């Protein structure tokens, strides 16, 4: 039986922290997940909820058992079981985004962030335990194969440094993981930001109203008479003087039923904003402005326009359950045409993912909800003119209303966000490179720092008759372990993080970035990382050989 090597006692210092965190997450799980055990949720969610409570309890039992065991009984087996339980907890937490996306598992942002923070700790603790286990695993292999070729010397070399370097190897691996994660997430975030900007502001000028007043969380108005009705005509003089407009569309969205407004008015925090409607003629005007083909409907039909990031499963489920709608203008049947997901901005959905498209004569009998005005210019609007128009709009009397009004200019958004995207991309890339280079520099220096000791050891091997090719092979194997183990483990963890992001945000990636484009960027990142790794490895190998043969 292999006992815990005394130099690795630093891992004991993490046990109390791990115990406290697992104790807290156990109570948090019981408090926040108990409501999943009812008939409203699928069986798989209930199973996840049960396991998410049981696994932390198992970890607590292992820690308590470890605390009361005698020192001579502190075996590697105990540590291995703790690592397995930690890995299981990691997997359970990693499944959470999948459940949120594919099973619509309800969980507020605060609870989700708590679990993601605990997942981060599981990674830190798991990597720490891994290197202690790795050291003991090498000791087992040494005992079994120490008389085969130069294994006694090779494992002696590794173990002599691992006794004092497990903590530093742990920190290097975690830093490499962070560096790779930054490398991977940079093209994702940059592409997301650029794609989101293109989808959010497809028109040169977008003016909108918001009766909800989301900044305060409560609806400020008290009756339908206070709902916005302006067509923003007060901007005409400024626009005619400073901007050449190619197309201009003023339109409204409507409550399908007037009661929807009053139901939300009763409790604006509890009741979600209702799904609103837009007239067919206004919708076709927007399609024409954005370069899409127009659609047609019969007098008794409706169709839907969805946010482009809405999952297709969610669209299909909703349409299946809403083959008809009842409006203040009469009942409508869903048209036998596909749901629309063209890019028309994200302002007129009333904080929903869908808006109804209904015939014009129906809208004449509906209550208006919000007013909009979208414009396309003949040429790009200058930044100065855009700022003047925005200031002119913000200084208007509309800002004194209980309704919130907003103007979005493509020129301003592109200029301001381009600067933010550049700073974000530069900062993340620079940080990733610095961390990556620092880790490899430390790994190289760790091998080259004891050059005098290595000279003596390899001289002894030569005096024993070991040929030079065998010595070079030993050096290559030793460097492969020191560089390979932390790099491979970091690559696995960073890859898991990337999969975590892709699964959790696959719709945003598909819509804002494009899978092919993201894959190309990630391959470029991997090529850069590979080039850096090979450069450091070869440089260290050459210098090590010179030092050992001097």
Highest averaged pLDDT of the listed ranges 5-9, 81-85, 311-315, 473-477: 81-85
| Tens digits of residue pLDDT in 403-420 | 888 999 999 988 888 888
Q: Does 498 have pLDDT greater than 90?
A: no
Instruction: Determine the average pLDDT of the residues in 343-353.
Output: 87
pLDDT at 147: 52
User: How confident is residue 239, by pLDDT bands cut at 50, 70 and 90?
Assistant: very high
Least confident of 91-100, 259-268, 446-455, 509-518: 446-455
More confident residue, 183 or 375: 375
Q: Does 1 have pLDDT greater than 60?
A: no
User: How confident is residue 243, by pLDDT bands cut at 50, 70 and 90?
Assistant: very high
pLDDT at 400: 62
Least confident of 122-131, 186-195, 295-304, 316-325: 186-195
Q: Does 259 have pLDDT greater than 60?
A: yes
| Tens digits of residue pLDDT in 145-169 | 655 556 566 666 666 677 667 788 8
pLDDT at 306: 93
| Tens digits of residue pLDDT in 354-396 | 999 999 999 999 999 999 999 999 998 999 999 999 999 988 8
Say what the pTM is. Answer: 0.72
| Tens digits of residue pLDDT in 447-456 | 777 666 667 7
Q: Does 269 have pLDDT greater than 70?
A: no
More confident residue, 504 or 329: 329
* Class of residue 336 by CB neighbours under 10 A (exposed 0-12, middle 13-18, buried 19+): exposed
Pair 188, 518: CB distance under 8 Å: yes
pLDDT at 443: 85
Q: Phi/psi of residue 357, each to 5°?
A: -110, 120
Query: Helix, strand, or coil here: 512?
Result: helix
Instruction: Determine the average pLDDT of the residues in 117-128.
Output: 90
Cα distance between residue 15 and residue 167, in whole Å = 15
Per-chain mean pLDDT for the chain? 82
Cα distance between residue 388 and residue 390, in whole Å = 5
Q: Does 349 have pLDDT greater than 70?
A: yes
456 to each of 160, 445, 463, 548, 550, how far by Cα in Å? 15, 18, 11, 8, 10
pLDDT at 300: 92
Query: Helix, strand, or coil here: 406?
Result: strand
Pair 104, 133: CB distance under 8 Å: no
Q: Does 74 have pLDDT greater than 80?
A: no
121's enclosing H/E stretch is helix 109-145
Report the interhelical angle of 410-448 vs 468-504 (nearest 10°): 150
pLDDT at 3: 43
Tell me the residue length of the chain.
550
Cα distance between residue 370 and residue 208, in whole Å = 7
pLDDT at 242: 92
Q: Does 238 have pLDDT greater than 70?
A: yes
Any residues with CB less than 8 A from the CB of 66 and at least 6 apart, and which? 15, 74, 78, 82
**DSSP for residue 223:** S
Q: Does 285 have pLDDT greater than 90?
A: yes
Task: Tell how strand 301-306 and strand 330-334 pair up.
Answer: parallel
Both tokens of 395, joined, read: 């200084």
Q: What percent of the chain has pLDDT over 90?
A: 23
Please, what is the Cα angle at 251 between 245 and 257, to 5 degrees?
Answer: 170
Cα distance between residue 284 and residue 342, in whole Å = 12
Instruction: Determine the average pLDDT of the residues in 233-251.
Output: 92
């Amino acid at each position: 039986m292999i006992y815990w090597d005394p130099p690795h006692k630093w891992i004991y210092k993490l046990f109390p922290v791990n115990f406290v965190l697992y104790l807290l997450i156990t109570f948090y799980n019981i408090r926040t997940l108990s409501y999943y055990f009812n008939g409203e949720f699928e069986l798989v969610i209930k199973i996840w909820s049960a396991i998410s409570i049981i696994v932390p309890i198992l970890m607590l039992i292992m820690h308590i058992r470890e605390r009361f065991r005698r020192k001579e009984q502190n075996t590697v087996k105990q540590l291995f079981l703790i690592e397995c339980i930690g890995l299981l907890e990691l997997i359970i937490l990693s499944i959470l985004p999948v459940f949120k996306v594919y099973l619509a598992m309800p969980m507020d942002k605060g609870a989700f962030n708590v679990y993601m923070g605990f997942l981060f700790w599981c990674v830190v603790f798991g990597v720490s335990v891994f290197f202690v286990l790795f050291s003991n695993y090498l000791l087992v292999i040494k005992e079994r194969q120490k008389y085969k070729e130069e294994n006694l010397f090779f494992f002696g070399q590794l173990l002599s440094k691992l006794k004092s370097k497990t903590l530093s190897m742990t920190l290097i691996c975690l830093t490499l993981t962070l560096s790779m994660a930054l490398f991977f997430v940079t093209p994702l975030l940059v592409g997301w930001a650029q794609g989101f900007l293109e989808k959010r502001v497809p028109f040169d000028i977008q003016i909108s109203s918001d009766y909800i007043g989301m900044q305060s969380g409560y609806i400020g108005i008290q009756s339908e008479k206070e709902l916005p009705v302006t067509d923003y005509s007060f901007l005409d003089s400024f626009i005619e003087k400073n901007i050449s407009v190619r197309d201009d569309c003023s339109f409204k969205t409507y409550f399908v039923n007037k009661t929807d407004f009053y139901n939300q008015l009763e409790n604006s925090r509890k009741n979600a904003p209702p799904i609103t409607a837009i007239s067919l003629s206004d919708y076709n005007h927007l399609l024409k402005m954005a370069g899409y083909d127009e659609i047609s409907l019969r007098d008794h039909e409706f169709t839907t326009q969805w946010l482009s990031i809405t999952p297709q499963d969610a669209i299909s489920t909703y349409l299946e359950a809403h083959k008809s709608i009842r409006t203040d203008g009469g009942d409508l049947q869903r048209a036998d045409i596909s749901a629309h997901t063209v890019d028309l901005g994200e302002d007129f959905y009333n904080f929903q993912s869908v808006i109804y498209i209904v015939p014009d004569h129906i809208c004449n009998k509906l209550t208006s909800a919000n007013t909009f005005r979208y414009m396309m210019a003949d040429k790009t609007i200058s930044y100065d003119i855009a700022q003047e128009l925005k200031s002119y709009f913000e200084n208007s009397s509309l800002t004194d209303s209980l309704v919130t009004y907003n103007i979005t200019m493509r020129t301003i958004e592109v200029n301001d966000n381009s600067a933010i995207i550049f700073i974000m991309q530069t900062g993340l890339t620079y940080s990733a490179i610095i961390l990556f280079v620092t880790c490899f520099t430390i790994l190289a220096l760790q091998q080259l720092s004891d050059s005098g000791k290595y000279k003596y050891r390899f001289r002894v091997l030569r005096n024993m008759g070991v040929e030079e090719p065998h010595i070079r092979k030993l050096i290559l194997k030793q460097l492969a372990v020191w560089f390979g183990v932390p790099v491979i483990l970091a690559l696995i963890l960073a890859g898991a993080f990337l999969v975590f992001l892709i699964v959790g945000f696959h719709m945003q990636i598909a819509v804002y970035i494009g899978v092919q484009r993201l894959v190309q960027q990630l391959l470029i990142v991997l090529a850069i990382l590979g080039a850096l790794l090979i450069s450091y490895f070869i440089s260290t190998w050459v210098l090590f050989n010179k030092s050992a043969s001097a």
